[in-house]
Amino acid sequence: MSVTLLIEQLLNGVQLGTMLFLMASGLTLVFGVMGLINLAHGSFYMVGAYATAAVTASTGSFLIGLAAGMTAAALVGALVELIVIRRLYHRPHLDQVLATFALILIFSEGTRWIFGSSPLWLSPPSWLTGFVTLPGDTRYPVYRLVLIGVGVAIAIALYLLISRTRLGMRIRAGESDREMIGALGVNIAKLYTVVFALGAALAGLAGALVGALQSVQVGMGEPVLILAFVVIVIGGIGSIKGALLGALLVGVVDTLGRVYLPLFFQTFMPPSEATGVGSSLAAMLIYILMAVILAFKPKGLFAAND
Amino acid sequence: MKMISRFGLGLLLSSSVLTAQAEDVKIGMITTLSGGGSHLGVDVRDGFMLALEQSGRDDVEVLIQDDARRPDLARSLSNEFIQRDDVDILTGIIWSNLAMAVVPSVTRQGTFYLSPNAGPSDLAGRMCHENYFNVAYQNDNLHGAMGAYMREEGYERPIIMAPNYPAGTDALAGFKHLYEGEVVGELYTQMGQTDYAAEIAQIRDSDADSLFFFLPGGMGISFMKQWESSGVDMPIFGAAFSFDEILIKAVGSAAIGARNTSLWAYDLENEANASFVEGFQAAYDRLPTLYAAQGYDTANLILSALETAHPDDKDAFREALRAADFDSVRGEFRFGPNQHPIQDIYVREVVEGDDGEPTNRLIGVAIEDIQDVYYEQCEM
């Protein structure tokens, strides 16, 4: 249990956290501004990854692919909002869950229909492979550092967007009082479409970036979606700041738990049993974290509508 | 793809014309054709149908249904097949948990079940049945064979890794059973986990000289890509489930050099295999995976038994199946007392093919005549 291992695992946790933030920020904005539970958010993640894989394969450029992936996710998001989501704002949450769950099925089978059931190939470009040596002789993949950088850049950009621009002002107004900003003459319908497409684009970006590291396949978005929901519940629904802190918290706790819980149990149990118990407990850890936080702060760490 | 649907349609049409004939044989296939992991089911189906087509028989009807990897759906499909369609033989299930939901009730009702993939330990041991035949492997076979191979090759400090679910813990137990030495560490990952940075750092931090892992499907793709970019220099080993021809194409160069155990390889030299691989490529325009080979063998076993008896004569048909008198694409093939295969397990290495894409190449035999350890618990 060395210090370099701990540093490396902390970086891994932060990297997982920044990617979760890209997912969670869109989800929390949509929930905060429009009051909509969107289960199909994981599908935008998948759309982004598939579009990036397809365009990267045909152009040979990862960056063009990435741009195409974000654009595709934003377009699909806008279309979904215009065609389906728009009819759901005044419905109860259960209807929203049912309808967006149906969207998951449609997107999954649609993707399988177009691209087939085999996973697609997508890897980071050659100039992002390899690793750097950090202080303490820790070797760390360049691509993961880039992911952390992208996540931080997006977080700053979102902060500026929301606190300094007119669009951000409207988003904040929409969070506090939806009816009133409509009455003040803001085109609510357009605002909703823009926010929804923005969230979808961020999910698509996360899917593309993570897809290059993992695998691009049907159903890749749903496990991340569950984690993203945990993040926004912990952070407080509707709060970007909460999403950022929640994502980092979940990322670090999940990663460190997976490494150190089995080691902890090994101090007083036989190794094979300890890894079994430790791994099972590590899988539950973030949900335990969520339960504890909700017990003390029922609306999450930074509830937007307090 | 188009060919197979036309062929299937032809079967359906011919059967509706000939329904009056009692000698016709009906086979129900329940397999995974949609959702995650569906390329396994597609290959089992395609291999199975290729064998039927090559046999030229038109008195065998195959009904195919998609289980979407859901145990409850597989269960109700099996009831439909038996009660409504009155099938003689069922086959096709890919996943062990689905097999456990379906097989015991099917065989108890007197219908034959031939497994083209899943081989859970219970069905090989205490829940074995005279109407249940496994044509693929018992789940431990490939992992155990890799344990034997790595010991033979002189690896002394392996670290081993699998998801924390029954097949994962079984895989590591199977490996350790035939490795017969101390392992440096055991890592259990979460089912469906996609990020392996934490595990890779632990592996690097250990003083292991080799890595054995069982991460089926998408989990293996994610792991190997992250493994390559981590810069850890250690030979990797696994079972064919993480290295079929479709998966390694998605992994890309990261898979090169990995060695894996399989009951079959497309470059295995025997007559049956040559005609299988050639026929499969001609019909579907892709290399077959081991799942296709298993589907093909399953169909040929059924066809060989049909030469002697009709499934209505259960005892005679069962005897004919037990004889396993067919040319298997994996060379020698025979059944043990629990009607699971006793077979050689091969080692393949992932290399760069002529087209620059990764592909498997046969490099040797891991273990000869491997038999599962559960047959002693089987009372038939």
A123/chain B closest Cα distance in angstroms: 8
**Residues of chain A found within 8 Å of residue B229, distances taken between Cβ atoms:** 124, 129-131, 141-144, 213
**Residues of chain A found within 8 Å of residue B159, distances taken between Cβ atoms:** none
User: Same domain for B189 and B236?
Assistant: yes
User: Same domain for B223 and B352?
Assistant: yes
User: Same domain for B123 and B74?
Assistant: yes
The CATH number of the domain holding residue A194 is 1.10.3470
Cβ under 8 Å to A: B residues 20-79: 34-36, 38-39, 42
User: Same domain for B249 and B296?
Assistant: no
Please tell me the distance from the alpha carbon of residue B277 to that of residue B329, in angstroms, as a whole number.
Answer: 9
pLDDT tens-place string over residues A86-96? 999 888 999 99
Domain assignment present for A304: no
Q: Across the interface, which of A112, A255, A258 has its CB nearest the CB of B34?
A: A112
User: Same domain for B145 and B228?
Assistant: yes
User: Same domain for B203 and B216?
Assistant: yes
User: Do the Cβ atoms of B199 and A109 come within 8 Å?
Assistant: no
A44/chain B closest Cα distance in angstroms: 17
Domain assignment present for A303: no
User: Same domain for B69 and B217?
Assistant: no
Strand blocks (E) in chain B: 25-31, 60-66, 89-91, 112-115, 132-134, 158-163, 185-189, 210-213, 236-239, 259-262, 334-335, 341-352, 358-370
**What confidence score (pLDDT) does residue A175 get?**
78
Instruction: Reduce the secondary structure of B161-222 to three states and give it as a string.
Output: EEECCHHHHHHHHHHHHHHCCCCCEEEEECCCCCCCHHHHHHHHHCCCCEEEECCCCHHHHH
List beta partners, residue B294: none
Instruction: State the total domains in chain B.
Output: 2
pLDDT tens-place string over residues B307-336? 999 999 999 999 999 999 999 999 989 999
| Residue A73 pLDDT level (bands cut at 50, 70, 90) | very high
User: Same domain for B199 and B97?
Assistant: no
User: Do the Cβ atoms of B218 and A262 come within 8 Å?
Assistant: no
Chain A contact present for B357, CB below 8 A: no
**Residues of chain A found within 8 Å of residue B46, distances taken between Cβ atoms:** none
Domain assignment present for A229: yes
Does the structure show a pLDDT above 70 at A188? yes
User: Do the Cβ atoms of A139 and B226 come within 8 Å?
Assistant: no
CB-based contacts of A231, cutoff 8 Å, min separation 6: A20, A21, A23, A24, A243, A246, A247, A250
In Å, what is the CA distance from A206 to each residue of A35, A112, A216?
A: 23, 20, 12
User: Same domain for B259 and B295?
Assistant: no
User: Do the Cβ atoms of B221 and A119 come within 8 Å?
Assistant: yes
| Residue A171 pLDDT level (bands cut at 50, 70, 90) | confident
User: Do the Cβ atoms of B231 and A139 come within 8 Å?
Assistant: yes
**What confidence score (pLDDT) does residue B135 get?**
96
Domain hosting B285: range is 2-138+268-342
User: Do the Cβ atoms of A124 and B169 come within 8 Å?
Assistant: no
User: Do the Cβ atoms of A259 and B202 come within 8 Å?
Assistant: yes
Picking from A205, A199, A196, A221, the residue whose alpha carbon sits closest to that of residue A78 is: A196
- Ranking A66-70, B168-172, B300-304, B361-365 by mean pLDDT, the lowest is B168-172
A255/chain B closest Cα distance in angstroms: 6
Residue bearing the bigger pLDDT, A267 or B152: B152
Output the CA torsion sign for B204, B240, B376, B97.
positive
Give me Rg for the CA atoms of chain B: 20
A132/chain B closest Cα distance in angstroms: 10
**What confidence score (pLDDT) does residue A306 get?**
47
| pLDDT above 90 as % of chain B | 73
**What confidence score (pLDDT) does residue A227 get?**
92
Domain assignment present for A193: yes
Give me Rg for the CA atoms of chain A: 20
**Residues of chain A found within 8 Å of residue B190, distances taken between Cβ atoms:** 258, 279, 282-283
pTM above 0.80, yes or no: no
Mean pLDDT calculated for residue range A128-133 = 83
Half-sphere exposure of B8 (CA within 13 A, CB side): 16
User: Same domain for B237 and B280?
Assistant: no
Domain assignment present for A302: no
| Residue B14 pLDDT level (bands cut at 50, 70, 90) | very low
Please tell me the distance from the alpha carbon of residue B289 to that of residue A118, in angstroms, as a whole number.
Answer: 13
Please tell me the distance from the alpha carbon of residue A237 to that of residue A232, in angstroms, as a whole number.
Answer: 5
In Å, what is the CA distance from B169 to each residue of A268, B139, B143, B238?
A: 21, 11, 11, 14
In Å, what is the CA distance from B189 to each residue of A104, A175, A280, A284?
A: 26, 39, 9, 13
pLDDT tens-place string over residues B201-245? 889 888 999 999 999 877 888 899 889 888 888 999 999 999 999
User: Do the Cβ atoms of B188 and A275 come within 8 Å?
Assistant: yes
Neighbouring C-beta atoms of residue A113, cutoff 10 Å:
11
**What confidence score (pLDDT) does residue A304 get?**
57
A262/chain B closest Cα distance in angstroms: 9
Please, what is the average pLDDT of chain A? 89
**What confidence score (pLDDT) does residue B6 get?**
45
Mean pLDDT calculated for residue range A205-229 = 90
Mean pLDDT calculated for residue range B169-191 = 90
User: Same domain for B48 and B169?
Assistant: no
**What confidence score (pLDDT) does residue B9 get?**
46
Mean pLDDT calculated for residue range B121-130 = 93
User: Do the Cβ atoms of B192 and A271 come within 8 Å?
Assistant: no
Please, what is the average pLDDT of chain B? 90
Mean pLDDT calculated for residue range B57-65 = 94
**What confidence score (pLDDT) does residue B10 get?**
44
**Residues of chain A found within 8 Å of residue B218, distances taken between Cβ atoms:** 119, 214-215, 217, 220
**What confidence score (pLDDT) does residue B253 get?**
86
Does the structure show a pLDDT above 80 at A160? yes
Instruction: State the total domains in chain A.
Output: 1
**What confidence score (pLDDT) does residue A196 get?**
93
Mean pLDDT calculated for residue range A38-52 = 95
DSSP 8-state assignment for residue B260? E
**What confidence score (pLDDT) does residue A95 get?**
93
Please tell me the distance from the alpha carbon of residue A242 to that of residue A113, in angstroms, as a whole number.
Answer: 38
Residue bearing the bigger pLDDT, B170 or B103: B103
User: Same domain for B260 and B367?
Assistant: yes
Domain assignment present for A185: yes
Mean pLDDT calculated for residue range A70-88 = 95
Does the structure show a pLDDT above 50 at B4? no
**What confidence score (pLDDT) does residue A258 get?**
87
Residue bearing the bigger pLDDT, A197 or A128: A197
Domain hosting A184: range is 3-296
The CATH number of the domain holding residue B122 is 3.40.50.2300
